[in-house]
Amino acid sequence: MMRPFRANCLAATLIAAFGLFFAAGCGDGSDHVNLPPGSSVLHIADVDDVPTLDPAAGYDTESWTFEQAIFDTLVRYGDDNIELEPDLAVRWESSPDARTFVFHLRHDARFSNGRPVTSDDVRYGIERVLDPATHSRGMEYYRNIAGSGDFAAHRAAHLRGIETPDPWTIIFHLDSPDPIFIHKLAMPFASAVPREAAEPWEDDFSRHAMGSGAFMLKEWLGGQRLVLVRNPYYFQKGLPRLDAIVDSLGVTPELQWLRYEAGDLDVVSSIPPAEFPFVMKTPRLRALTQKKTTVTTEYLGMNCQMWPFTDVRVRRAINYGINRAKLVALLNGRGVAATGVLPPNLPGFDPELKGYSYDPKHARELLEDARLASGFRFDLWMRADTTMLMLGQSIQQDLALIGLRVEIKPVAWGPFLEAIRQPRTVQAFLSGWEADFPDPQNFLSVLLSRDQWGSNNDTYFYDPSFQSLIDRASDETDFKLRYRLFDEAEKIVVADAPWAFLYYPVTYAITQPWVHDYVLNPMRPTRFERVAVSPH
């Protein structure tokens, strides 16, 4: 009877092992954070883990939320607007030809290790982005700095186009005029980075991020929790007003909402769609919400080189055939029906522009004109994501009413980008564009210019008069004239309709009554320097 005995032993050992693992593993699961009693802490939550804290790498809302808190750039935007403000730089000058920019740094900024921030640190931050080994997504924004090619090819130790005559002055020389270059310096890519902290970690700087911002990284448990605490060396006296920020990771919007109701979360930036109508109907809750129309445009792109979208009447018919009010209703009102390419809140936005109304009858007439009265079928590509698919199905329902059969092609976003960038491959697709800088060029030139075919101009739109307008406007340093040229260009796009203009997303956030000065920014994540929490 040896066998049964051994088998029992085995079972007993396994069960004992379970118990041990169970006991050991549960320890890290708790939400307890070691902070001094009486600390003022802001509790927030995110659905997913934060992708990265390395300012050269991050290019998404979650990463930027915390990069903005940990790092400083020369200039930044206001808390609730997209006006440039001093950050590390106290003042700056630019040459009339928009090719030389001089910044004067403040003397009292320090990294969280106590070392003063100098112009070398700003240069190092940008050089990290331009070094191919970093694989940075921000490379293209700084490539027009003189000598970037030599630097990237390791033919030069430093960028020729950045001068640091003294620790408090930095001068940029560009290869070509760039009236919006200063905005590129307000992106977290251009953060001041302490070389002594970044170099030893190489790619793992993300886990050990250190900058001169109001906060510093204390703890980051992958997928569970991110904790920032105040940087004692932060240059703004009296700021930050919080001692710490605790971000719980992997918390669904539904759970965030319940935790908010229980008072465990101070801010919820994504109210679950199902709860949203209730919040809006409850005056107490409604008073605690705030909203901001983002500088983002959601659209349905139509490939102007592919039948039947080669015909402008068909493209207009699609525009008339989509019920934007229904899309906005499906988003629980968190959107504004789009009238054109440029979103409201973007300088250069034209409030007079009428866009397309929902008019299925007119849509059918246009199709008849185009000899397509019997309809046609086409593929509509989109990212495989719940909201996208819901909107896609709504459009599918709408267009069925004017006789069109829409085949939805949901794909992962890598293949999605790959496919739409191929010429004559994708007939139509759902996409959106979020502004990187507050300037019409970021939409009209980046998304619709001839030289962006195969890159960001995925509708393969081309119109000679449009092209000459945006080419002129891009280098224009007189902003009034610049906006007027872009406005004329936008009108051509709306009439030619390479896109069906869908909606401008609106974000909502709800805060507890004890949270102060938490404000939404139309383009960037909320900044935490001024946020305060009163005892509750």
Q: Are 186 and 77 in contact (CB under 8 A)?
A: yes
Half-sphere exposure of 496 (CA within 13 A, CB side): 22
Q: Which is nearer to other proteins, 92 or 378 (CB)?
A: 378
Q: Least separation, in Å, of the C-beta of 8 and other proteins? A: 6
Q: Least separation, in Å, of the C-beta of 94 and other proteins? A: 24
Q: Least separation, in Å, of the C-beta of 169 and other proteins? A: 30
CA distance 411 to 430: 11
Q: Are 105 and 117 in contact (CB under 8 A)?
A: yes
Q: Least separation, in Å, of the C-beta of 485 and other proteins? A: 23
**Residue 485 — φ and ψ, nearest 5°?**
-65, -45
Q: Which is nearer to other proteins, 93 or 204 (CB)?
A: 204
Q: Least separation, in Å, of the C-beta of 212 and other proteins? A: 22
Place of tokens 């906006």: 483
Nearest to 523 by CA among 355, 347, 385: 347
Q: Are 329 and 278 in contact (CB under 8 A)?
A: no
Q: Least separation, in Å, of the C-beta of 110 and other proteins? A: 27
Q: Least separation, in Å, of the C-beta of 164 and other proteins? A: 25
Q: Which is nearer to other proteins, 264 or 463 (CB)?
A: 264
Q: Which is nearer to other proteins, 413 or 479 (CB)?
A: 413
CA distance 378 to 427: 7
Q: Least separation, in Å, of the C-beta of 298 and other proteins? A: 14
Q: In this structure, are strands 89-94 and 100-105 parallel, antiparallel, or unpaired?
A: antiparallel
**Residue 428 — φ and ψ, nearest 5°?**
-150, 155
Q: Which is nearer to other proteins, 215 or 437 (CB)?
A: 437
CA distance 190 to 207: 19
Q: Least separation, in Å, of the C-beta of 43 and other proteins? A: 13
Q: Which is nearer to other proteins, 119 or 270 (CB)?
A: 270
Residue 517: both structure tokens together:
């000065």
384: CB partners within 8 A, 6+ apart: 410, 411, 412
Q: Are 443 and 474 in contact (CB under 8 A)?
A: no
Q: Which is nearer to other proteins, 208 or 530 (CB)?
A: 208
Q: In this structure, are strands 244-249 and 377-383 parallel, antiparallel, or unpaired?
A: unpaired
Q: In this structure, are strands 428-434 and 377-383 parallel, antiparallel, or unpaired?
A: parallel
Residue 495: both structure tokens together:
């009439």
Q: Which is nearer to other proteins, 210 or 485 (CB)?
A: 210
Mark out the alpha helices in 422-505 (DSSP H runs): 441-448, 464-474, 479-496
Q: Which is nearer to other proteins, 368 or 418 (CB)?
A: 418
